Structure 1
Amino acid sequence: MTRTETIKEFFKKAVLPVAIAGLLYCIFKSACMRDGELDLLWLWILCGLPFGLHRMCVWIVPGSGSLGGGAALFVLNFVIGGLIGGFVLVWRLLVAAWYVPLTIYRLIVGH
């Protein structure tokens, strides 16, 4: 692996997920404030939405019910996608933390 490939992979696997997570935190932090305290569950769900919605294999589709029931299931889909995405986001941040020493090793050794 050349130095250029190593640096590109570092930015793709480490810098970009951390930057996206930081940007999402800055955007959604004010929306998750309740009585002066940060609601971490809603912050988890909102920050996980971009990472989890497209990973949902099954969407809950409302039957021939009322409009309120259909809207509730639509919101439930987003909540479930946000929860899944929260775990994906944590995984990406762990991978990013792993890529820092790995990239340093690759640059020093020259693999």
Structure 2
Amino acid sequence: MEVLTVTKSEVIKEFFKKSVLPVAVAALLYCIFKSVCTKDGVTDYVWLFILCGLPFGIPRMFAWIVPGGSLGTALPLFLLNFIIGGVIGGFVLVWRLLVSTWYIPLTIYRLFITRGTSYIPE
């Protein structure tokens, strides 16, 4: 069994990377796209989910349907790629928010057991 030496600064750095940053990005995306998805005081949460997930799904969206052929078929397929990428990215965003929630008690635990010494990773 291997024992890793971890300092408190590394634990806090990992906490910010895994917990604070995804929540801040999700809050920023929500603030940007909330006004776009609100019409007559009613918010369309499906489109808000797709638009907030779009930055997380961009690397995955062209793996499904590759646009080709004429402009009449390529443009709808290109837009469908964006919608599929937004849905996939929405689930990735939800997963990252769940992981960030898990890192709060995990970081507290790691801060208590480190005390400048070493601990056994999960």
TM-score normalized by structure 2? 0.84
Residue identity in the other structure for 1:68? G
Residue 30 (structure 1) shift: 0.3
Deviations 1:60-88 (A, max 9, x none): 223423x2322111110000000000000
Corresponding residue number in structure 1 for 2:82:
78
Q: Which has the higher helix share?
A: 1
Distance 1:48 1:90 in 2: 9
Aligned partner of residue 65 in structure 2, secondary structure: coil
Matched, 1:40 2:45: yes
- The partner residue of 1:87 within 88, 91, 100 is 91
Residue 35 (structure 1) shift: 2.7
Q: May I ask how many residue pairs the two structures share in their alignment? A: 110
Distance 1:55 1:30 in 2: 26
Corresponding residue number in structure 1 for 2:66:
61
Runs of 5+ unmatched residues, structure 1: none
TM-score normalized by structure 1? 0.92
Label 1:51 to 1:75 Cα distance change in 2 as closer, same or farther (>3 A): same
**Mean Cα displacement is larger for which, 27-36 or 88-97?**
27-36
**Mean Cα displacement is larger for which, 38-47 or 67-76?**
67-76
Matched, 1:102 2:106: yes
Deviations 1:79-102 (A, max 9, x none): 000000000000000000000000
Runs of 5+ unmatched residues, structure 2: 1-5
Residue identity in the other structure for 1:34? K
Structure whose alpha-carbon radius of gyration is higher: 2
Aligned partner of residue 19 in structure 1, secondary structure: helix
Corresponding residue number in structure 2 for 1:13:
18
Cα RMSD between the aligned structures? 1.4
